[in-house]
Every structure is written in structure tokens, then in C-alpha cells.
Amino acid sequence: MDKRDFLRTIGGAMSAAILGDSVTASSQPSGSLPGSLPGPPTEPPDFWVQLRKRYALPKDRIDLEHGYYSRMSNDVLEAFVGHVRSINTDAAFYMRTRQADDKNAARTALAELAGCATDELIITRNTTESLDTIIAGQPWQAGDQAVMAQQDYGAMLLMFEQVGRRHGVENRAVSLPMDPKSDEEIVELYASAITKKTRLLMVSHIVNITGHVMPVKKIVEMAHSKNVLVMVDGAHAFAHLDFKIPELGCDYYGASLHKWLGCPLGAGILYVRKPRVKELWPMFGDHHAEDSIDKLNHTGTHPVHTDLAILDAIRLHREIGAERKEKRLRWLQKYWTDQARKLPKVLLNTPTDPARTCAIANVGIEGLRPHELAKKLLDEHRIFTVAINAAGVHGVRVTPHLYTTTEELDAFVQALRDCTP
């Protein structure tokens, strides 16, 4: 779904109420209690209570739209502000003497987090930049084909449309089932779209509009058996799910760091499996060798303080723990969706199998258009979500964060009851 569509769908909801400013980290939304943040049964509740205190949260609404941009913790925010001040003081001296070394340190730490070699990963501004670089950089020939899903993110679908017009590439889009019975059902769906002319297949690690966690490794194995390259949209998966990129076997992987790693806006990654680097054309002219991934990273002068904050965000991510983070996020989603599935006229647009989901889910109500539901939730219940009305998905996307309370989720479920005609 295109970001512009996202913004249009929530426009009506936002116009009816002015959202308040952030407050101190210790403040709690109305109705929530510090002791109300249990995780899975084996998780000590106090861990999440203390973590919540490390974020500045709004007190005039319940935020359930962390899939677009997740706020930084207070310590990462303060470190980021410090980086801005420091670089402003040193100015060109910093840019000419330390910038490259500091960026490489952040890149090395990200590569370690991703489980890949440093020379297979670069820092970008976001997933769109990462994946559009791959789509545009392919040595396309007229008659080549690309495979993707109708439910993939709009920015990449638009880039595929552009290479279609520019290079004569045929795009073949499948439609993903809402609640597949098996991995094989998904794999076969993609396989059915591949022909001898297929060059590249794109798959979302987590489908942005439904929260569907895809069987990426199996899709990659199938595609590679047919000599098709695979590009993975990991915008919603990196630092959300506990995995290493090379385990997937994909050729390319792009992700944003301002979602689940908790970095400032303007940070992303692009992974390219080393044998695949040479054939790619860079977006901008560059002097690096053809087989160096650095040729894809000619960004010009950019906000380098964002790169510095990546290390601060990684420290917090490691402090929490990737496995614990994934379990907590899946548990929170199941907490409210298990209740919502029992409600009359409430429709879940997310797989029922816990292995196919994590934090993100989508819910609709019969008789209410998505933007109407989003508006009612915000205007009448002070709950912020985002309306989705595309590619067969009609509802609001709901994305709690690690610090979301059960009281907040209970309030959301009650709001669904109240919104039902």
C-alpha cells in the first residue's frame, strides 16, 4: 500500500481532534497502571514496567500504530540530540576527519546484528531506498518478468511499474490468502507465477497491511531452484523477529531502522549477497569498484548524526534481547486478537496461526469502512490506528509496542464492541 494512501485514510480521523504533545517518560495513558504490563507467563512483569518508563508517551491517546514509525527511547533520543550538538560544533572538521570511521562502526554493528559480512551491507535512509535501488539496478532486458504480491508495499510496486514502462519488464502479481493452510500453499502460489522469463521475485518478510509473516526461506529455495533471484522487504521484520538475514538465503534484503530498532527517522539497511553485487547498477554515479557494495551507497552529504544513533539503538535492542522482544510482541498481538475473534461482526484480516504473525494485525467491522472505523476509534475512544483499504484488506492496522499495556489493549477491544453497528 502506498504511503500516500495511508495518509489519506487517516486524514479524516486526525482532523477531528488535535493530538497532544508528548509527556515525560513516567506518565501513563488514562486508565493504565504500572503493574499492567505482563508478558508471556515466564516473563517478570516488572521488566516491561521499567522499560515503559524509558519512553516519552502521549497521555491523551492510546498509540497502536507503531508499524509506521516507532519512537526512540529517551536514552536513544538524548544520545541522538547529543550527536546533533557535537557534529554542529565540529562541523566540517568532523565530516572530513571522523565521519567515515564512525559510519563504518555503525555499519559493522548492523552487519553483526544481521549476521552478515560488513561488505554485504550498507546504511540507507529507509526500505524504499534500499529496495528501489535493487529494482532499478537490475540489468533488465525487454521481456524479462518480475513476480510480487498485490499486498506488497506501494512504493516498490510503483518502482516495478516504472521499470516495466522503461525496460519492457512484465510484472506478475499474486494475491496472498488471508489465512493460508500451510507454507506450501504460499510457496506454490509464487511458483505458479514464475516462468522461464522471470528474473526477480519480491516477497515481504512481514506483509505490512496484515502482519502476515511469510515463509521466506521456503520461497527463496523454490525460486532459486528455478534460477530466480529473490528480494525481501524486511521493513517490518528487522529487529522485530529474531533471525539472521543469511539464514533466509535471499539475494537482497532491505529494512528500515526507525521501526523496530528504534532509530531516528532516516536510517535503513540494504543487504546484497556478495556474488550479486557486481551485476547491479548504482542509483547514482560512483567511483567504487563494480564488485563493491559501496557503489550503491553514494548518498552525498546527509544527516550523519542519525548514523551515530544507530549504535545507541542497538545497545538497547541487545539489552532487551531479540528473542524476548519477539515473544513479547507476539504475545501482545495474541492477547487482543484472541478476544476480538470472538466478537460478532468483527473480522480479523490476519492469519490465525501464531507462527504466521507477530506484533502486527488488522481488524475490520462489518458495516464500517476502514477510514470510518479509524475515525471512530480516534474521535470517540482516543485510540490511534491506521486505516487500510487495499488489495482485498479492509480494516485498521493495529500495532502495539513492547511497552503497550493490557489495559490499553482491553480498551481497544471494548472500543471494537462499541463501534460495532
CATH code where residue 414 lies:
3.90.1150.10
Predicted pLDDT of residue 79: 97
Type of residue numbered 150: Q
pTM of the model: 0.89
- Residue 30, Ramachandran bin (φ over 0: left; ψ between -120 and 50: alpha; else beta): beta
- pLDDT at 287 (0 to 100): 79
Residue 26, in any domain of the structure: yes
| Mean pLDDT calculated for residue range 85-94 | 96
**Confidence band of 21 (pLDDT split at 50, 70, 90):** very low
pLDDT (0 to 100) of residue 43: 66
Q: Do 200 and 133 lie in a common domain? A: yes
170 shares its domain with 286: yes
Q: What is the CA radius of gyration of the chain?
A: 21
Q: What is the arithmetic mean of pLDDT over 33-60?
A: 74
Residue 395 placed within a domain: yes
Q: State residue 41's pLDDT score.
A: 53
E-strand stretches of 168-241: 170-174, 198-204, 229-233
- Please count the other Cβ atoms lying within 10 Å of the Cβ belonging to residue 60: 13
Mean pLDDT, residues 150-165: 97
Residue with cell 501464531: 354
Nearest CA among 41, 48, 123 for reference residue 405:
48
If one counts the domains in the chain, the total is: 2
pLDDT at res. 214: 98
Say if residue 213 is in the same domain as residue 301.
yes
Whether 148 is covered by a domain: the verdict is yes
Q: Which of 315, 335, 360 is the last residue of a domain?
A: 315
Task: Examine the domain organization and report whether 260 and 179 are in the same domain.
Answer: yes
- For residue 40, name the pLDDT band (cuts at 50, 70, 90): low
Q: Please indicate, yes or no, if residue 100 is contained in any of the structural domains.
A: yes
Residue at a domain's end among 315, 330, 353: 315
Predicted confidence (pLDDT) per residue in 163-180, tens digit: 999 999 999 999 999 999
- 232 and 365 part of one domain: no
Q: In which region does residue 168 sit, left (phi positive, over 0), alpha (psi from -120 to 50) or beta (all else)?
A: left
73 assigned to some structural domain: no
Shared-domain flag, residues 57 and 105: no
Angle between helices 322-340 and 304-320 (to 10 degrees): 80
| Domain assignment of residue 52, yes or no | yes
Does 72 fall in a domain? no
Report the alpha-carbon distance of residue 198 to residue 172 in Å, rounded: 9
Within this chain, do residues 140 and 8 fall inside the same structural domain, yes or no? no
In a domain, 97, yes or no: yes
What local confidence, expressed as pLDDT, does residue 42 receive?
Answer: 61
The rounded distance, in Å, linking the Cα atoms of 296 and 141 is: 21
Domain termination residue (choose one: 261, 286, 315): 315
Q: Are 292 and 244 found together in one domain? A: yes
Same domain, 19 and 63: yes
Rounded Cα gap, residues 179 and 350, in angstroms: 7
Query: What's the CATH number where 208 sits?
Result: 3.40.640.10
Residues 176 and 92 both lie in one domain: yes
Range of the domain at 285: 78-315
Does the pLDDT at position 374 exceed 60? yes
Report whether pLDDT(22) > 60. no
Are residues 338 and 397 both part of a single domain?
Answer: yes
Q: Quick one: 362 and 239 in the same domain?
A: no
Cα–Cα distance between 57 and 63 in angstroms, integer?
9
- Per-residue pLDDT of 268-322, as tens digits, reads 999 999 999 999 998 887 777 788 898 999 878 889 999 999 999 999 999 999 9
pLDDT value at residue 30: 29
The mean predicted confidence, pLDDT, of the chain is 90
